[in-house]
Amino acid sequence: MRLALGFNPVLPVREMTNIAVKAESLGYESFWVHESLYQRDVVTYLASILSSTRRIRAASGAVNTFTRHPVTMAATFANLAELSEGRAVLGLGLGSFPTIPLIGFRVFPAAETKPLRRMREYVKIVRAVWSGEKVSFKGTFFTVNDLELGFKMVYPVPLYVASLFPMTLRFAGRAADGAILSPTLATVEGTARMAGFVKEGETAAERKVDRASYMMTSLDPDVEAARETVKKFYFFLYQLSDVLPANTLEKYGVTEERLRPMKEAWKKGNIPEASRLVPEEAVDALTIVGTPDRAMQRVAEYAKVGVDLPILMPIGNTAYAIQSLAPGGG
């Protein structure tokens, strides 16, 4: 099975680069880094990682369609591909719903902001620039007048589209090289549903794309310690409180009413109380926790419903997880 590693942009660049070098030696297929408006820049990470490795692919997972013009994005990743002899991957998404409005852009309502149109225009321009031809384009969101890339692009860049929305996932199946199904937390059933939307796009276009999915992973010989790590992790609490639809966990006995006390504590900034109130069933349904054997059983469940490339996002006992799940056997 192909396996990748993924991280939030919270570690210093040198530290993240060292982890990527270790991941390469252990046989991981690729190394993915989220981008945030207020944390370290993903391009800096990718340049450092690609300069320090020889085989592993390095990917954004994902940069957004607001903070960089598509021409700039196309040139940046063409340059990263040149630097790495073809190991750079562009993961592209619409952006973080809570943070994009902080720089003056609206995400909702979709009927007005037209996120799919924005993504279509973005991908069209990026691919046109990569073609080496002169590009002229005038759309709703982007304009390019008679512009071409100033150097010859030798190595192709795979383009993955990240989304939670059906229409954008169908678009990924029709027009991208890959789809990113999950920002980190998803049940097996939710992942199957998102893979199904990608499949609809693939079928319409008579093609096949790579389906990647982030999976928050907490491993420890002590299973309860692994669960506690997840419960205390800010990104898990944020996703569970502000991002996941209310009915996501009903199958597992976790209703909106049951989550309400945890969400109220989160909104008040009482992180210890929010952590204490997280239902254990939510941890087990949304993340990969426990021992290495149990973790690989869970990864296989996601692979069975359509995930081609699991992107393990280790937290807590990170070194133990990376070593024990290594495709090369550790």
Alpha carbon distances (Å) from 67 to 105, 120, 159: 10, 16, 18
- Tally of domains in the chain: 1
Write the pLDDT tens digit of every residue in 215-255: 999 999 899 999 999 999 998 998 899 888 888 999 999 99
Res 108 pLDDT > 90: no
Q: What percent of the chain has pLDDT over 90?
A: 89
CB 184 within 8 A of CB 283: no
Residue with tokens 């919270």: 10
CATH number, domain containing residue 136: 3.20.20.30
Res 329 pLDDT > 80: no
Domain-embedded: residue 52: yes
Write the pLDDT tens digit of every residue in 152-197: 999 999 999 999 899 999 999 999 999 999 878 999 999 999 999 9
Domain-embedded: residue 228: no
Q: What is the DSSP letter of 239?
A: I
d(CA 72, CA 74): 5
Domain-embedded: residue 273: no
d(CA 62, CA 65): 10
Q: Where are the beta strands (DSSP E) in the chain?
A: 4-7, 30-33, 57-60, 63-64, 88-93, 135-138, 143-147, 159-162, 178-180, 210-219, 288-290, 309-314
Domain-embedded: residue 240: no
* pLDDT for the residue 70: 98
CB 33 within 8 A of CB 60: yes
Res 330 pLDDT > 70: no
> How is residue 311 written in tokens?
């992107």
pTM for this model (two decimals): 0.95
Domain-embedded: residue 231: no
Domain-embedded: residue 255: no
Domain that holds residue 74: 4-221+288-324
Q: What is the DSSP letter of 82?
A: H
Domain-embedded: residue 136: yes
Domain-embedded: residue 266: no
